[in-house]
Structure 1
């Protein structure tokens, strides 16, 4: 049986990472995005976009959509952020479980506003179910700390008739020239799903990329992605263990460090240690999986790129729900 084509509503859509990844699998989307700069990029790229707050909308506003996707803001959950989301994990998990019991989503009292946004995809899902039009597929991604919340989501979704899969995926194993770990949830109504199988080998520092499972492709290096750069070494903008004097280094024949909103601080040096020009917006976007000609617009483009869902991961996740597991 052929599965019906998926049409996504993309919450917290950013500059188009998840939407473009879905498009590559043949699934159109409409994105809702609050940040005017990310909206400017989306419009320049020709992506269907609603400039607004996801809390002001619901499934009834997007009757053509039969699938839901999203990557809620990560700032309070990431290790580089203030940590308020991590501190409230238990309360957020409890809120998810309570929503599963009474069908309404209640943010914990006193929860940071950005932290509570992680509950929005659940509200949308429950509203669609209550209206008798459950989403056929759901794709969610966030930083690894959010995995317990996705596990709680999965239990609620399973009670509504969804097959679910959750886990932490390594983006270099899906062809991204960058090491980045993401907590993901995928679901399909009435059918089982499985996390997408890796297509590339995992990166291990000091281990040649020719080593490993011969059925998988080599991981992609910065040099592969940016062939016109010539040889260089990247010096991280973050210090290992929080020590700014202990900055990591990777040669261009390795994947990039995790691309963050501070990507412009990433130093590049030539083999003699001389500084090279920093990454352009186009180059930084390529490391996040965007085409080199992605029309970045507005301000804070580094932040837009760092916040975006990696395109190859988005494509793998949407393909996984488009072709449910047997």
Structure 2
């Protein structure tokens, strides 16, 4: 962990409320920066992971906490963060996404003009998909803070939000009203919005995220985090030359990073993240190739293939289905172990030995905010030094049984189980193929690997 004691934040005592907290991406970032946080999460398994990690958690519906438990939240909280689910806001399809955006803008305007929660909730009940309302929760929390007697009506000082790139237009609407109109009590913010690539912050994975950082007027204008690593810029090589397998492997594993004159570090590769032992992770032998479960580069007909010298493709809930090929020499190829949950977490920049728990663990990993990226966002929002990749390199120490029981008593109401106050969530693991045994040479695997290498298009 890197100490921030010698670097004063714009806030004397930052304290984060993490909405839609998932298994802990932003909270792990906060922990590494020595910032206390409280996460609200609806999914039972994600909460089990959080308890095992020792993270303060409320197993609850974000909307229900705002309506019924807001006054019980710590009044010291001064940073609002999170990434609301935005499945209903999409740029694909027949215009449903644009319609959802128009609906959201209308409700944003109504909230900022001071419409009552009762009137807003009644109107939201008419939405074709109730999930659309969730994207309003950060704004509703910001407004509720100014109405809270427990907080002495004090607004949040900083707001940090992130989501998929399609949500950028929604964050821009947030920025517009927060800057120009302000909250109903008159509080205004200075805001920056953009789409950032996680590999430019040392995460060993290419992943685009739309981010918003807002600071209350008077705290100084916010800035986006400056990149510390180079952009991953894949290059294509001549697919028609059909080189031998070992030549293709050499060509596929070339360091494709930009020239060193830009002052940035090379992007971190899968080999960088997984090659060395760390905690219980023994280190994955290199070289290796990874074939993803889905199409790449916008072409659904081609499955993505990357080598250990490249960052991973975007880690999703399908990461456990990715096929890993190893021992790539002399035309002998083995289908190795697929990524373990520990390894998938490390590709997301979670510390080694993070205690993934419950079911649907691959989905938990895929849904999480990459902690190192989250640390960059929080550091920029609070004017702290940019964190290094080593911030997440130290193995995570899981909570003791006593610590888990204490946090679950607070989060669920009982030390060993959920209670009636906990939301009911779908706690079933998705079906998927089991991992094949490693170390056994396979003719089919060798042929498949050679075939994909010869067709390799970065």
TM-score, normalising length from structure 2? 0.66
* Unmatched runs of 5 consecutive residues or more in structure 2: 1-7, 236-254, 276-282, 385-458
> Which residue, out of 123, 126, 130, partners 2:147?
130
CA contact (8 A) 2:88 2:100 kept: no
Q: Does 1:61 align with 2:72?
A: yes
Which one has a bigger Cα radius of gyration?
A: 2
Q: Pick from 75, 83, 94: which aligns with 2:106?
A: 94
CA distance in 2 between partners of 1:111 and 1:19 (Å): 33
Q: Secondary structure at the match of 1:124?
A: helix
Q: Which moved more, 1:210-219 or 1:126-135?
A: 210-219
- Answering whether residue 237 of structure 2 is matched by residue 177 of structure 1, we say no
- Counterparts in 2 of 1:246 and 1:30: CA distance versus 1, 3 Å: same
Aligned residue in 2 for 1:43: 51
Distance 2:271 2:93 in 1: 30
Instruction: State whether structure 2 residue 194 is matched by structure 1 residue 186.
Output: no
CA contact (8 A) 2:63 2:137 kept: yes
Tell me which residue corresponds to 2:177: 156
Displacement of 1:27 after TM fit?
1.5
Query: For 1:87-106, what per-residue CA distance to the aligned partner results, in whole angstroms no more than 9, with x for missing partners?
Result: 51222123223322335573
* Equivalent residue number for residue 449 of structure 2: none
**Contact preservation (8 Å) 1:92, 1:108:** no
Aligned partner of 1:219 in structure 2 is 267
| Stretch deviating more after TM superposition (241-250 or 196-205) | 241-250
**TM-score normalised by the chain length of structure 1:** 0.92
Contact 1:139 1:186 in 2 (8 A): yes
Structure 1 residues 79, 40: CA separation in 2 closer, same or farther (over 3 Å shift)?
farther
Residue 86 of structure 1, CA deviation? 5.8
For the residues of structure 2 that align with 1:241 and 1:6, how far apart are their CA atoms?
40
Q: How many residues align?
A: 325
Coordinate RMSD, CA, aligned: 2.5
Find out whether 1:120 has 2:137 as its counterpart: yes
Q: Is contact 1:135-1:189 (8 Å) kept? A: yes
Tell me, in whole angstroms, the C-alpha distance in 1 between the residues paired with 2:94 and 2:310.
Answer: 30
Give the CA deviation at 1:155. Answer: 1.9
Do the aligned residues in 2 keep the contact of 1:85 with 1:115 (CA within 8 Å)? Answer: no
- 2-structure distance, mates of 1:81, 1:276: 38
Deviates further, 231-240 or 116-125: 231-240
**Residues 1-326 of structure 1: pairs in structure 2 closer than 5 A:** 3-58=11-66, 59-62=70-73, 63-77=75-89, 85=97, 87-102=99-114, 106=120, 107=124, 109-131=126-148, 132-158=153-179, 159=182, 160-190=187-217, 191=219, 192-206=221-235, 208-211=256-259, 213-227=261-275, 228-229=283-284, 230-240=286-296, 245-270=301-326, 271=328, 272-323=332-383
Deviations 1:119-175 (CA, angstroms, capped at 9, x unpaired): 111100011123421001111100000111111111222223211111101000111
Aligned residue in 1 for 2:443: none
CA distance 1:170–1:275, change in 2 (3 Å): same
